[in-house]
A and B are shown apart, each in its own frame.
Chain A
Amino acid sequence: MTYMHIGKDFTPPDIEGKVTGMARYAEDFRRDGLVFARLLTSPIPAGRVVNIDASEALAMPGVLGIFTADDLPESKPPANPALAKEFITYIGQPILAVAAESEELAEAAIERIVVEYERRPFVVDPLDTLIEGGPDPYPMGNSLIRTGEAAAGTTASGSGVGQIKWTADQIASFRAGRFPTGATFPEEWMYGDVDAAFAQCSTIVEEPFVTIGYPHHSLESRTGMAYWENGKCYFHGSLQSHTVGHDALSAMLEIDPANLVFINENTGGGFGSKIFPYPVMAVTGRFARQLNRPLQLRITRAEEFYIGSARSGMQGWIKVGLRDNGRVGAVDVAIVGDAGAGGGASGSSAAEHISIMYQPESMRFRGMSLYTNTAPRGAQRGPGQNEMAAVLSPIMDKAARQAGVDLVEFRRLNAPGMEAKIGPRQGGLSSSYYPQALDMAAADFGWEQKRTLPRQISATKVRGIGVGEGYHSAGASGYDGLLRIAPDGKIYLHTGVGNLGTYSYAAVVRAAAEALQCNWENCVIVHGRTDYHLQHSTYQGGSNTMFTETRSSHVAAMDAIRKLKQIAAAQFGGAADDYSIGGERVFLTSDSSKGMTYGEAAQKAIEMGGEYSGASFPEDIHNTTKRAVQGLAGTGLIGVGKDTLPKSGTAPGFAVAMVEIELDTETGKFDILNYTGIAECGTIVHPIGLRQAMNGGGVWGFGMAAYERHVYDPQNGLPANVGLYQSKPPTYLDVPVQMNCSATDMPDPQSPVGARGIGEPAQGCAVAALMSAISDALDGHLFNRTPVTPDMIVNHIAQNGFNTGDLKTNTF
């Protein structure tokens, strides 16, 4: 299909600000009378606050006040409190905030505050609390009790803390790579007859695995600034979503959503940690109100490590069975998820990854979320799926090699196509062109040629090639679209989508421009401040935006087109269906001279009032959207509507990657020589934006595979790597000199423009392919662990026998 805008590159309106320094982030804003708050954080991993003596601090000139948990609604475990009192669960947890006329004063005041703590036992490795007699991270237990399902792309906060214990024998069995017979798993699902299916498999692989969590490390920390005027709170914050968090932030501040102006035109990274408002935002807003002064609460890099969220880890066991024909006949997987100090782990999502990517004929998942006294965990780029992709790929490679099947051919045999099923309910997909993506990757990478190359490059250098796959559900429905055509002919495309750096906020509204057949130069994107009258848009996480918001943008455009035609019919006679649009005019199809420009129609809409001008609006739109329309009423022709377009099955985002590495057997280091990533995300909407998403996801994959992890001192609960150079995101020197990516560019039938999302799978495919390549370079050795570090490789080569390290996590 030929489009005006879809599939074409464009210049996002915010990019010039980013290259000139004019783009402003939350910490860049100042306000007359601004005061500065800093946090006092916990020096102990578990315990409670017995007493706070701030008298000396409060007597200091320029110190304005302190803010404690007593100033907030009570929070019950395992919810992550903004400020802790009765339940301190990790080092670095905020205890109180101090405000002063300067940051230096606030820091000095913190030094004068005496906090008396009561210590409690703590634990940093889930298996150390799971064992009978082991310490619990909370006084009441160690595990998450769920009452509802996790929202897509997130790990849900739990509603309670329970206690699960295994016997020492069960723990020993699990650490040794065997299923812990008789052990309790509160989460379980299954389809098919797994035991019977294994009996029919000719190849069986059984392996343990462990993945270590790591911080999001968004470069912009969650510093915020708030002030109150005439009963309204103006909040400069940093979220990756925008309007979808409005009601939640209002609730945190206990105000009517109409009295909150959330300002967030640019966001310096989120990666899942800023999908929704986070606890410390309550301190910023409420403390500002208490002092009746503009207040900035700075979060330092070290504090961001503690409260900036982190990926969950997994300790697990998997058994895979292949039939004679290379098809995966059965999978059995058990996962102990590390939820840190709050939140939930992602075991079921991890298992879902297996079910979609290899289409096993039968499968069983057993799992649990255990808490530890480490930084709170939350959604991070493909939670569950991507860490499973990392460890699964080499395990599947082993199975394929045992069955005598090439690694790519094996994936072809099991690839999810149009009829693919997913998860415990074995639901369908909106579409899938994954087999085509796999073929594209093999051709672009030159898999057939590279697999014949010698592995030994020189005396100390070996080659490895690998293939891996990424998946995430990539689209929802039910959100609102909104646009306004002004009398001057400008088309204002509103979006409540956040600006998290993917430019999707701009790309999705091009679906409305496409439907209206208007020039991009006449379009203005309205975003970034809720007092710009923004509608209820999707949360931005889980590769969700592109599918979801092209639909709602399209809906708004179709509403506007209907009104344009009705206005023209009222002016020139006939029925609305007799009219067409084109060239930013609406005209009688049989006589194009009878028509009017969009601008003239907008003027008519103002005169006609009612739904045309926004004086009235559909009842089914969200309250946020209703307020937005009320704010715009009478200023032009309003196109607005809720996305009720047909949707069935899961809209998937897929990616496949292939990697070639050169590994130094003396140092254990490796260089990535070639990287090819292929996206299967429906129609390409923004080509260069898609490449950026794929390449950036690739870098994230390399980080998970080789560099990033939590390290805690198990004796004291102290984190050893709060900095960027310690839990190190990849640098320029850790990634290939050039990356290669492309996409299938085949439309999904449930999107008006055929698009789905890709952010999460872009990482999953890369980490999986790199782990596969490392294994390949070492003659198929399985570490069954992320990250794989040079010391592990050297130890393996020296035959020191290190693989999973007995499933130890969060430490060496």
Chain B
Amino acid sequence: MNPKLTRRRFIKGVIASGVAAASTSLWYTASGQNRPAGAVERLLTINVNGQTRRVDVAPQETLAHTLRYKLGLTGAKLGCNRGECGSCTVLADDVNIYSCSTLTHEVKNKAILTVEGLRAADGTLHPVQAAFIQELSPACGFCTSGQIMSAVALLKSNPRPTRAEARQALSGNLCRCGAYDHYLNGVMRASGQLS
């Protein structure tokens, strides 16, 4: 290993090259010319909650950052910002992902669904949302968006899960209040197995 290549220098180098690439890509975007190989398009068109959104996205930007600070969709929370807690969970093409650990550029061609996009057009709550209210599933509520999105993903692939299956499916979502029993009740109610 190059003795001069410390971890810090390496990271600084990556950041610096990112900044350079970003500014270059902006110029190419503005000028309409073809981009050189390796440059990253910053002005993305992404599909969020069924709507097409144009947004300026840095190469190293996470989806959580884009959603929260560029698009104003603050339902996905940053509990840890490193893929431990699941509070930032959203769906990408119906698969639940940690938006804090996903680069926006990675999912630019996928349909992103956040908790804000679950209501029907007439304002009716999604069955999972309604069930979570009925079962008093949220406690402090900080993890709730993530719990809901994992539950929605589960029910899309398995509309009538057992309680044990639901427990497995949601196990990537921490609840520090310990409201697990109530979230599972909510999933079972949303799937029509609890009345």
Contact = CB atoms under 8 A, between A and B. Distances in A.
Contacts, number: 152
A30 B69 CA distance: 9
Contacts of A739: 181
Contact of B140 (A19, A22, A266, A697): A266
B129 interface: yes
A21 B74 contact: yes
Given A220-B142, A269-B176, A695 B171 contact: no
Nearest to B114: A21
Given A18-B144, A267-B140, A688-B136, A731 B164 contact: no
B164 A737 contact: yes
Contact of A301 (B82, B116, B163, B181): B82
Nearest to B79: A219
Contacts of A692: 136, 139, 177, 179, 182
A724 B178 contact: no
Nearest to A270: B140
Contacts of A25: 77, 142
A699 B84 CA distance: 18
A520 to B, nearest CB: 16
Interface residues of B, number: 53
B80 to A, nearest CB: 4
Contact of B178 (A23, A220, A698): A698
Nearest to B132: A19
Interface in B129-145: 129, 132-133, 135-145
Nearest to B116: A21
Given A18-B144, A724-B85, A220 B180 contact: no
A20 B174 contact: no
Contacts of B48: none
B76 interface: yes
Given A218-B176, A219-B176, A501-B140, A724 B80 contact: yes
Grouping DSSP codes into helix (H, G, I), strand (E, B) and loop, the A interface class, with mixed when no group exceeds half, is loop
B140 A20 contact: no
B140 A220 contact: yes
Interface string A670-713: 00000000000000000011011001111110000000000000
B179 A696 contact: yes
A733 interface: yes
B181 A738 contact: yes
A123 B114 CA distance: 47
Contacts of B173: 732
B141 A23 contact: yes
A510 interface: no
B84 to A, nearest CB: 4
Contact-size category for A? 35 or more
A40 B85 CA distance: 25
Interface in A721-777: 723-725, 729-733, 735, 737-739
Interface in A635-690: 688-689
Given A20-B116, A698-B178, A732 B170 contact: yes
Contacts of B119: 20
Nearest to A726: B84
Contacts of A21: 73-76, 114-116, 145
A200 interface: no
B104 interface: no
A770 to B, nearest CB: 14
B194 to A, nearest CB: 12
Q: In this complex, which of B76, B114, B115 has the most chain A Cβ atoms within 10 angstroms of its Cβ?
A: B115
Interface of A: 9, 11-12, 14-25, 27-28, 30, 217-220, 266-269, 271, 300-301, 500-503, 688-689, 691-692, 695-700, 723-725, 729-733, 735, 737-739
8 contacts: A15-B138, A219-B79, A220-B140, A268-B142, A501-B141, A691-B136, A731-B174, A732-B167
Interface of B: 68-69, 73-82, 84-85, 87, 114-116, 118-119, 125, 129, 132-133, 135-145, 148, 163-164, 167-168, 170-171, 173-182, 184
Nearest first, the 3 closest Cβ-Cβ pairs linking A and B are: A21-B75, A699-B178, A501-B140
Given A18-B138, A271-B176, 20 more contacts: A15-B136, A18-B144, A19-B125, A19-B132, A19-B137, A19-B148, A20-B125, A20-B129, A21-B75, A24-B74, A25-B142, A28-B74, A217-B176, A219-B140, A268-B141, A695-B180, A695-B181, A700-B178, A735-B178, A737-B164
